[in-house]
Structure 1
């Protein structure tokens, strides 16, 4: 019997694991030439070779026989595009595709929250002014009925307004959030890099800035110089600051410029001390000496990535995938086994996307049902 095999699925699995053909050959005890021919579709691997590839890549064998299911996406924005490598971007892009496929699966059964966002800006980067950015952040707060105070849970607020947020199995400190459009919705994939709740919230707001401000960008990496790329990031950062700390409310709140006050403000606004200082400086609430002094304190305390009091706020997690799947499981519309067979993803990725264990479903099918009669 001929084994089903799709060469594109092998390449996708290899890229997601961040392996070259030579590295996969070494891990699978197959030749690089064989793997090259498999990916080109020149030859098909036999069953034992597929098992070796599956074991080396930690993918279920069923994945390699799936037809092409890549979902069309819009421009992909990488939160740490300057630091991330092409290999890392490919790894996270495939995980983003996995999340998009999972949403499409759920959407066949469940009506997701309506997408409620302002109109996107369709201007060239240099035409986007500070006033436009400020206005767009205000519009988000207005249509989401957030008022002028701190946003309690940004992750779930964004989900409630139709933005898809997913966690991924990507473990890399050089990669933060990734965003794009898929299935007619913005989708943001988060990297497991041990980030603080404040950093995650700012990353989400930053990605929302890209989604709303930079609809005219076809490919970030086609921009011909770093000046444009830096401006792109600066605009998204400004949007995030405006969204999380609106002007008037933040100005009224800031009654001191001491570090002890900024520590209190961190727990009130749910943003990092670094973001608070940046916001205060952008609103001209700090003198140059005050700003430099606070920056030196942040550096001296090694607070650029992790800060004091980070542990006092619980991390935010998306719930849309877990809630949707639980609804389907409770009414027996689907099973976890159905999901595993349909999507074909590694169990680790399914568990991360859907926020639940899939191990308890392993033996739930094709078992004899016995009954004591005496």
Structure 2
């Protein structure tokens, strides 16, 4: 993905990378070691206010971060929701297309953003790093001081479902926030998780596909290619320059629309 972006930058100016401490391939001089502080600082730097974030993927792309949703091909990698790296001239976030629920998808994008901000030296699978990235994602998507008054002090899935839609986070994440803020006791939390598991097993809480939310589907490189086409750049030209198959170009730029074509008779 980075190679493709680098090639497209020969023809189109992509958004500059806007991350605290970013220096073209690494995070330098970054004192944002606390995930909640880092989330607060980044929200302020990006001018996001304290409310819900409408489009997580579009937000990352607007800040110069390459995002893709791709199949993970090995059995081990398919266990992951996403991965990222800040060890290239542009940060890259790759989300697992099998995790096709928009709330989990948004949290994964925020989680990987947390890694980019907090962990210049990545240690894949490090439990402490993963917990920090989770804490960052929760604080970034649902700042405690902004959502605290809306969270129910008793388990109310109707109210939580409304908050899920307005804040764009999962019921799971909201239950964790309730526990973190002292609104639910351990016993209440346990009952809530059992109830949530039961509702899902009964099919009463179906997943919400990512495809229904255009702002959560990467478009930066596809739009860059559309602009490059005006300068005579074709899929074959990109493939030749990169020594790739044209099919790889089409896959990574989302040029093949999987929806069936409607033919009027």
TM-score (norm 2): 0.83
2:103 corresponding residue in structure 1 = 198
Evaluate the alpha carbon distance shift between residue 150 and residue 209 of structure 1 in structure 2; reply closer, same or farther with a 3 A threshold: same
Matched residues in 2 for 1:312 and 1:106: separation? 26
Q: How many residues align?
A: 244
2:263 corresponding residue in structure 1 = none
Tell me how far 1:312 sits from its aligned partner: 9.4
2:14 corresponding residue in structure 1 = 112
Matched residues in 2 for 1:218 and 1:311: separation? 30
Structure 2 residue 247 is matched with structure 1 residue 345: no
Residues 201-231 of structure 1: CA deviation (Å, up to 9, x unaligned) = 100110111111112x35436xxxxxxx221
1:137-216 matches, within 5 Å, as: 137-170=39-72, 173-215=78-120
2:254 corresponding residue in structure 1 = 355
1:297 corresponding residue in structure 2 = 195
Aligned match for 2:186, one of 261, 276, 288 = 288
1:230 corresponding residue in structure 2 = 127
Tell me how far 1:262 sits from its aligned partner: 1.0
Q: Which runs of 4+ in 1 moved over 6 A?
A: 121-124
Matched residues in 1 for 2:95 and 2:210: separation? 21
Structure 2 residue 215 is matched with structure 1 residue 318: no
Evaluate the alpha carbon distance shift between residue 337 and residue 123 of structure 1 in structure 2; reply closer, same or farther with a 3 A threshold: closer
TM-score (norm 1): 0.60
Could you say what secondary structure the match of 2:86 adopts? Answer: strand
Q: Which moved more, 1:257-266 or 1:346-355?
A: 346-355
Evaluate the alpha carbon distance shift between residue 254 and residue 103 of structure 1 in structure 2; reply closer, same or farther with a 3 A threshold: same
Kindly indicate whether the alpha-carbon contact (under 8 Å) linking 1:177 and 1:189 is maintained by their aligned counterparts in 2. Answer: yes
Tell me how far 1:347 sits from its aligned partner: 4.0
Matched residues in 2 for 1:202 and 1:144: separation? 18
Tell me how far 1:118 sits from its aligned partner: 2.0
Tell me how far 1:198 sits from its aligned partner: 0.8
Kindly indicate whether the alpha-carbon contact (under 8 Å) linking 1:272 and 1:307 is maintained by their aligned counterparts in 2. Answer: no
Matched residues in 2 for 1:240 and 1:194: separation? 17
Q: CA RMSD in A?
A: 2.7
Kindly indicate whether the alpha-carbon contact (under 8 Å) linking 1:175 and 1:191 is maintained by their aligned counterparts in 2. Answer: yes
Evaluate the alpha carbon distance shift between residue 280 and residue 168 of structure 1 in structure 2; reply closer, same or farther with a 3 A threshold: same
Kindly indicate whether the alpha-carbon contact (under 8 Å) linking 1:177 and 1:188 is maintained by their aligned counterparts in 2. Answer: yes
